[in-house]
Each structure stands twice: as structure tokens, then as C-alpha cells.
Structure 1
Amino acid sequence: MALKKKKQPKALSAGRPPVFQRPKSITRKATKALINKHHLLEKRKQQALSKGDATQVAAIDAEIEALGGLESYQEASLQGQRQDRGGDSSSVLMQWLQSSLSAHKEASGRPLKMLEVGALSTQNVCSQSGHFDIVRIDLNSQGEGILQQDFMERPLPKDDSELFDIISLSLVLNFVPDPKGRGEMLRRTTEFLRTPGRYLDSPSLTTNFPSLFLVLPAPCVTNSRYLDEDRLTDIMTSLGYVKVETKTTQRLVYYLWRKEATGKVSGKRFSKKEIRAGSTRNNFAVVLG
């Protein structure tokens, strides 16, 4: 009996998260498994929604809530930003932009405007650099300084004052469950960026701005049946983007895409077309058109 009484508090606490503080850490393996599970459930939910299966949607919603909802996904993502887990993805962006931003600061001093979609923190490298005036949005705000907003429902800019020099989509596109939704998200970014060629006061910016910083799990590009580097480049080119920088690690792929002065949305269609066969491939896709 004494042994059972000792185990009861442990069993109770293990069944729900602490009230006053979050767990300090979860393992890399558990982090990856949790994120993957969320992505799978969101994909299944989208399929159920397309079929009009309300019962299945409710069941999947219950599974998502059992995992801790969007909060648990964000917690896992924050764990992934720790330095011992690969670090803050914006550090890569700052490495790419540092020289042009420094030259701009000396010439003008005007901070550039950034829209950070899916923001989890106000303390990342970009935020602390002093080079950006940042608008941060997320579906589920994690605190002050982050506006709770869906990028796909954000009002379109009314004038130049509401446009941005750069948009950050770091580990956001892969959370969109529908391939068409991913294509629409990429297309929509072009409507929030400044018109290219408006950096006459600071020529050092013309190489990198206006731009889109895109980060995806590496397998979305390196091991997908429906998307590879060439196809992603074709999609982005059709939207008026040109690739400026890229970096691939074991876990992630990073891109900096500049919106071109002569670039126009071509209207070219990109369907869900198999590019690479194989039973070990994933089904990540971007559909545009």
C-alpha cells in the first residue's frame, strides 16, 4: 500500500503539464516526434475537411488537443531553437545580410521593416541586431510583442507604409497542411513586399532586398516525391523571385529569395506531379495556379 501511495503523485503529474512552469527541455527525439505527429494530424484533418467528414475532423481535433494543441507544437519548435539543437534560424539570415545591413546603417540609419510570420520569440538574432523594425505575427501568440494573426487573413497593404523590406517564413510553410495553401502563401508574400528598386538611398541593399527568408525541414526538398530544388526554384521564379542565398544542413534548408524589379507573377501552373519515385519519399508538395 505504501508503495502505491508514493507512486500516485507521480502518476498524476505525468498525466498533465505543470501548472506554474513549463518543462525545461524535451529530448531531440521527442521534439522531432511531436512536430511530425502534429504535421501528420493536420494533414489528415485537411483531408477530412475536403471530404466533409465532420466526425473525423472532430476526432482529429481531439487527438491534437491530447498532444497539447498548438501550444505543444510551439514548445517543441522553441526547443529546436536552442543552441544545442541547431539554434535560431535567423542567425543564418543575419550572416547573409550583415555586410549590406552595416553599409546601409552607415549610409542611412533607417531600420528596415520585417514581417516575421510564425514568430515564437522577441529575442532572436534578428530582433537583437538593431537593424529591423519587426512586426511579429503567429496563430497563437506566445507573449507581448507577437500579434495573434493568421498571415492568410492579414489585410493587404493599403499603401507603401504597410509594405515590408523582408518577410520571414521560418518553418511555417511546412505547417500548412494543404499543397494549394502552401502555394497561395508563397504567392501572397509578394503582395506585402516593397517595390524593387526603391533603395536609391542605400545601394548596398539592392542585392538582398526586398526579400523572402524561407526555412523548411530539409526532407521537404531533398526527399519529397513532388518537390526538389529545381521545382521549388521554378515556382519561386514564376512568382518573381530570384534565389540569392541557400544553405542545406542535415535538418533544415534555408533560402533567401529577392523579389526582382522586373519580376511579375507569371500565372504558370504547378500541379502535384511526381518527380522522384520511391517508397521512402515523403509527400510534401507545393501547388500553384
Structure 2
Amino acid sequence: MSKKNRKNKKYQGPKPPKRPENFHSFSECIKWLKKSVYIVVRGRKVIVDEKEGINWITLGSGFVAAPSRFVTAAHVINDPEKGELAQHQDGDKYYLLRHDDENNWHCRIFEPKLDREIFVFADIDLALIYLDSEFYQVGDKIFADRNDFIRISKEFLPIGSEVGVLGYPLCKLEFQEKDINKPLIGNVLLRADQGVVNCRYQTSEKDFLYEFTLAFNPGNSGGPIFDTKTGKVVSIVKGYKVLRINERENVISDEGVKQLKVYKEKAFIETLNATYSFGFATPTFLEVFKKHNIIS
């Protein structure tokens, strides 16, 4: 390069740090992945006192899995256990918002059309949302980096592998003065947990599930479960199973009854349950991910 060209070359600023191929700690992994995890909230038109408004309901979590591609669970968008009102309808708006422990936040509201910008695959509990260009940038204002997404693992993890989960459980998005441009982000808290893969099994020719020693709570659904070493998604939060492993009746002594001023019964049932968190393994999703340009 000539001296003249070097002199006229526009300064681009310092290069952003490159995402590591492997992480040395759980906290380092979280630092990179948290930029891609969002709470999912649905807005639906309602009539209250003869006035039209929008009722916003917090649904769960999700994550950016490729440029302009957002992934969550099918039951976050269409929950069969909660009836028709929990199903996606034409005209529904979606509010995606992230807010981390360093008070960084970003949000986007849009109205996706079914089978055009939003796709639901109930049989494998997967849903995809196409993100528009304004999710990343409006005019000269850049809100998100297109390179900030969580990579998808195409391989199985062996049992005993360490995994993490990110999401927005136990959160509810609300607005100051009911203004959707003033989200109360302090109520939206990103939460992480760490555990291991404790089981993997097959339910059909193409469907595989993991069980995890992770704590899932309402609102975790749709969030990423990832390999803590590579940061790649290995599953998506589906739910948890509760299995009763012991039950016994305990008789309350006469002295104990005297100490209970309200309780009238002579005995109580004590139960011990085993709880397993679970989700589909990402190899189950590969065909869909390829079709929608999330993986090559």
C-alpha cells in the first residue's frame, strides 16, 4: 500500500474482540451469550370500557441463533394447555427485550405473520421468528450487532457434560404510564443456572431428549441450554417432569394438635418428588434449522 493510500484510509476504530472458540469459566461464557437472550412478550388488542387497548402477556424466553433468526419453544407461542387465548392470532404483536446484570438493554416490537415471519413446529416444541432489519439498526443508530448470536451444536453431548441455561423466569414486563416506549426494565432480570446432562434418550427415529440437573421456572421456556465449554446451544428449555418417589402418612400427636390452633386434621401426607428438567437435543432440529438458514 502506498503512503498516500495509507494516509487517506479512513480509521475504523478498534476491532471488536473476537468471540472465543472455548471458554475457561461459566461466567466468561455467560458474558458472551447474554447479549443474545431475550424475554418474549405478546401484545393483543382488547376492548376495555369501549376503548381499544393492548394487553401484554409475558410468555417466556428465546435467543438469537443466527443473523435475523430468533428461536424459542413452540409452547411459548402456542401453549396447548392454556387454550385458545394462548395461541398466536393474526394481529398479535411481540415485544422482545433483553436486560442484563450490567444494565445493558435492547428491545424491539413487531407484528409477525404466521408462516411468513413466525413458524411453529409443535411436534418438536420449536418456534422461529424472523427478525427485521430494524431489530439491529434504525437510521444511523445501531442497537444490536448482527454477529451477536448463539451458535447451534450439531452434535450430542455425553451425559455428565456441564451445561448452562439463560432466560427470564419469574419476570413480567410492564410499562411506565402504560407507554410501550417506557418499559420498566428493572422488573426484567436475566437469570442463569448451571448443571449437567444426566440422561439422553430417543423417543422416535429423529427425536432425542436430554434431562438436566438444572432448575427451570415459569418463564425459562424457550431459553437456550448450552455447553459451558463451547457456548453452543445443545437444547431448548421445554419443561420439567415431577415423579413421586415416596409418600407416607404422618399422624399428629395430641400435643402437636394443641399447638396447631387452626389445623383440624389428625394427620398429614408427606410426599417426596423427583424433578427432572428436560428439552429436545439440537440434532432433532437440524432439518428445520437448515431450511431456515440458521445452520449450513
TM-score, length-scaled by structure 1:
0.26
In terms of fraction of residues, the more helix-rich structure is 1
In terms of fraction of residues, the more strand-rich structure is 2
Please say which structure displays the higher CA radius of gyration. Answer: 2
Asked which structure has the greater RCO (Cα within 8 Å, sep 6+), the reply is: 2
